[in-house]
């Protein structure tokens, strides 16, 4: 549904001037084939009285391959569907095409239908006395230009929705039902937009009164001194070194045993002599590091643990920490 002006004379003249006489953009063969197929489908649907399905097919056929016959069938389909304003406009366009194509029968038929539909067209007039800043008007969702305000607009019979918006105004909306041949005025009456409610600032609640709390009991914490961690590190490192050197000594001893005679203590293989010497050296190092690790570990765990005493007090709501350390 859309708005239509009362006068059609200027529109017919413009359509006549723009009639498809030159056919500058000729449709392709595929477009003509599809247009013919849509036209045939639309004719069959219209013969069955299925105008709502037929009209879109006529419109697509006309778009693909414009022709006076298709245009007349589209106008007739709108006419049967009850879209009188749309049918009136399409018949008016068909008159221009028929004149350009010298099809007098089609011209006469279209003129007769225009004359018959004219008195039956409903008309709406938007009555606007107050035009605030940023005002916009819509009819059935389509924007109504300023030039059409206050002008009788032809519409199809049935219900139409008029909407208006503007700055500092509450949105306005009305549903208007018009019958064939009826003329209606639609006054748009604004109301000021309701101001936003004032912001409510909640009062800050007063802090609750608190009773004095007794000071907390002293907290005693025992901890190890730095000497413990130093000796512990020495013990771990020594034990690890003892394990490594002991493994090397054992490997060298086994190698020497395979190359030398264990019963006489004589070894003719120089590499066996070297292995036996290396085994004795690493065995001595393993024994020394093992002893050092054990001694460092025993001393570390034998050291007394230090104590840290923390006393908390709450005078006047504040917290004070007092720390002391005793060995």
The domain that holds 42 is classified in CATH as 1.25.40.10
Residues 81 and 145 in one domain: no
Domain end marker among 139, 166, 187 = 187
Residues 21 and 106 in one domain: yes
Residues 168 and 225 in one domain: no
Residues 93 and 157 in one domain: no
Residues 28 and 101 in one domain: yes
Asked, for residue 200, whether it belongs to a domain, the answer is: no
The structural domain count of the chain equals 3
Both tokens of 98, joined, read 């028929």
Asked, for residue 109, whether it belongs to a domain, the answer is: yes
Q: What is the pLDDT of residue 315?
A: 47
Asked, for residue 112, whether it belongs to a domain, the answer is: yes
Domain end marker among 120, 140, 173 = 120
Residues 228 and 181 in one domain: no
Both tokens of 264, joined, read 């006489």
Answer yes or no: are the C-beta atoms of 173 and 162 closer than 8 Å. yes
- Strands 158-165 and 123-127 come out as unpaired
Residues 24 and 73 in one domain: yes
Domain end marker among 97, 120, 143 = 120
Q: What is the pLDDT of residue 207?
A: 67
DSSP 8-state symbol, 316: G
Residues 84 and 112 in one domain: yes
The DSSP result for 169-235, as a single string, is: B--EEEEEEE-TT-EEEEE----BPPPPPPPP-PPPPPPPP-PPPPPPPPEEEEE--HHHHHHHHHH
Q: Which residue has the tokens 């032809």?
A: 154
Residues 71 and 135 in one domain: no
Answer yes or no: are the C-beta atoms of 54 and 42 closer than 8 Å. yes
Q: What is the pLDDT of residue 317?
A: 46
Cα distance between residue 180 and residue 156, in whole Å? 8
Asked, for residue 238, whether it belongs to a domain, the answer is: yes
Query: Helix, strand, coil % (nearest 5) of the chain?
Result: 50, 15, 30
Asked, for residue 192, whether it belongs to a domain, the answer is: no
E strand or H helix at 313, and its extent? strand 306-313
| pTM value > 0.75 | no
Q: What is the pLDDT of residue 206?
A: 67
Residues 312 and 263 in one domain: yes
Cα distance between residue 35 and residue 59, in whole Å? 10
Q: Which among 105, 47, 38 is positioned nearest to 65, based on CA atoms? A: 38
| pLDDT tens for the chain, residues 1 to 327 | 444 433 343 343 333 334 444 444 688 999 999 999 999 999 999 999 999 999 999 999 999 999 999 999 999 999 999 999 999 999 999 999 999 999 999 999 999 999 999 999 998 999 888 888 889 999 989 999 988 888 888 898 989 999 999 888 889 899 989 898 898 889 898 887 756 677 777 777 766 666 666 666 666 566 667 787 787 788 798 888 888 888 888 887 887 777 776 555 567 778 877 877 887 898 888 898 888 878 977 877 777 766 565 555 444 444 444 344 333
Q: What is the pLDDT of residue 150?
A: 87
Asked, for residue 160, whether it belongs to a domain, the answer is: yes
Both tokens of 67, joined, read 């022709």
Residues 14 and 115 in one domain: yes
* Residue ranges making up the domain that contains 68: 9-120
Asked, for residue 193, whether it belongs to a domain, the answer is: no
Residues 116 and 143 in one domain: no
CA distances from 136 to 167, 231, 326 (A): 10, 89, 86
Q: Which among 91, 92, 40 is positioned nearest to 65, based on CA atoms? A: 40
Answer yes or no: are the C-beta atoms of 3 and 144 closer than 8 Å. yes
């Amino acid at each position: 549904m859309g708005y239509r002006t009362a006068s059609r004379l200027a529109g017919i003249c413009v359509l006549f001037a723009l009639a498809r006489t030159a056919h500058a953009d000729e449709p392709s063969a595929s477009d003509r084939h599809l247009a013919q197929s849509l036209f045939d489908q639309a004719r069959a649907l219209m013969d069955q009285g299925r105008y709502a399905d037929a009209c879109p097919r006529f419109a697509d056929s006309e778009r693909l391959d414009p022709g006076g016959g298709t245009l007349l069938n589209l106008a007739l389909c709108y006419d049967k569907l009850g879209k009188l304003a749309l049918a009136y406009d399409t018949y008016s366009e068909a008159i221009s095409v028929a004149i350009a194509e010298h099809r007098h029968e089609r011209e006469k038929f279209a003129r007769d239908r225009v004359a018959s539909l004219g008195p039956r067209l409903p008309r709406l007039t938007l009555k606007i006395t107050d035009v605030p800043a940023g005002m916009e008007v819509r009819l059935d969702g389509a924007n109504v230009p300023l030039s059409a305000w206050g002008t009788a607009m032809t519409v199809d019979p049935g219900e139409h929705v008029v909407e208006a918006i503007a700055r500092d105004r509450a949105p306005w909306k009305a549903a208007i039902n018009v019958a064939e041949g009826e003329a209606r005025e639609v006054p748009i009456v604004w109301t000021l937009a309701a101001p936003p409610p004032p912001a409510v600032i909640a009062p800050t609640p007063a802090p609750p009164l608190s009773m004095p709390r007794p000071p907390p009991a002293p907290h005693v914490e025992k901890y190890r001194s730095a000497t413990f961690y130093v000796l512990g590190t020495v013990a771990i490192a020594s034990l690890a070194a003892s394990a490594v050197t002991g493994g090397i000594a054992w490997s060298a001893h086994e190698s020497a045993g395979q190359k030398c005679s264990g019963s006489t203590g004589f070894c003719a293989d120089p590499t066996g002599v070297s292995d036996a010497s290396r085994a004795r050296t690493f065995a001595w190092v393993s024994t020394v590091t093992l002893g050092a690790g054990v001694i460092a570990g025993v001393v570390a765990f034998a050291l007394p643990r230090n104590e840290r005493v923390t006393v908390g007090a709450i005078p006047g709501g504040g917290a004070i920490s007092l720390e002391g350390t005793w060995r």
